[in-house]
Amino acid sequence: MILITGATGHLGQLVIKELLNNKAEFVAGVRNINQYNGHHCNLEHLDYDNLSVMRNAFKNIDTIIFISGNAETEHRIQQHRNLIDAAKQENIKHIIYLSFITVTDPHPKFSFTRQHIDTESYLKASGISHTIVRSCWYMENIKTEIINALDNQVFIDNSNTGKISFISRQDVAKGLANIAINTNLQGRIYSFTGSAAYSMQNIVDLMNTNCHKQIKYTLYSDNDYKKRLIDAKLPEFLAEAITLNRVDIDNGDYAFICQDINFVNKKSPLDISEYIFSICCTH
């Protein structure tokens, strides 16, 4: 039996859909069962902050698809340790942990990377059999900026020339589900990236080509960019993290390209040029 955490999020729902399509036996771990309105499936109460609740949820579970919660870095580090502790106490056979591509940077500026580094280390030390999936930046993360640029002819960001090998949530979700279903894929470290890396200026060029626009790229200072994110109602800790992520982007942390997603999913991932074109066609 598979249990998926983070089931109410965008990625979690995509993983659930993949598991349903494959007729896998699974339950979705959710914090508030009464408020769940996602894909119809079996639910289990799950709370990263409550060890006994997690232990109860993990009874009769063999494999956990472990997707992060939504909290500040230090809180999330403790939550992840709680989950691993509960899994060990309930003799979980295997954990598939969704990590992040920048964990190989010894001095990352993106604060969430520290959480993934800690969780990978804690998971390895636990002795639980595991698979680690290091995902690159989701292309959906810049959808709002793409739409704003289509409307206003200006694309705003704070990164300079750094490139990102964007990956879609759908491709990551399919990969996580495939690993959970196929035990022969387990026990490895995967890097899920796109097939090419793009700078933000490259993104603007693709928009102008695919959407027949004349959008200009505007480079913001870190302070102005953070203020813009806060004005857009992002929590300050998240606005700070995303703003400082610019340093890791410009250092080349996200430009890494790997074929692991092709191997796991048996097909090439969606390219961001296709994603941009789909937005242009529907917006």
Q: Report how far apart, in Å, the C-alpha atoms of 27 and of each of 60, 61, 99, 134, 189 are.
A: 11, 9, 21, 23, 24
CA distance 151 to 137: 24
How many angstroms separate the CA atoms of 210 and 204, rounded?
A: 10
Predicted local distance difference test score (pLDDT) of residue 70: 76
DSSP string, 65-119: EE---SS-HHHHHHHHHHHHHHHHHTT-SEEEEEEEGGGG-SS-SSHHHHHHHHH
Among the listed residues 191, 212, 215, the one whose alpha carbon sits nearest the alpha carbon of residue 201 = 215
Give pLDDT, residue 211: 83
pLDDT at 275: 95
Please give the span between the terminal C-alpha atoms of the chain, in angstroms, as a whole number: 41
Number of CB atoms found within 10 A of residue 258's CB: 17
Q: Which pLDDT score is estimated for 212? A: 86
Distance, in Å, from the CA atom of 96 to the CA atom of 88, rounded to the nearest integer, reads 14
What pTM did the predictor assign?
0.94
6-41 per-position pLDDT tens digit: 998 999 999 999 999 999 999 999 988 988 989 999
Confidence at residue 282, expressed as pLDDT on a 0 to 100 scale: 83
**64 pairs with which residues across the strands?**
3, 95
Report pLDDT digits (tens) over 53-72. Answer: 999 999 999 999 999 877 78
Express each pLDDT in 69-84 by its tens digit: 777 878 999 999 999 9
Query: How much is the pLDDT for 193?
Result: 98
What confidence score (pLDDT) does residue 12 get? 95
Separation between Cα atoms, residue 13 and residue 170, nearest integer Å = 10
Name the stretches of the chain with pLDDT < 50: none
Pairing of strands 198-199, 163-164: antiparallel
What is the distance between the alpha carbons of residues 103 and 105, in angstroms, rounded to a whole number? 5
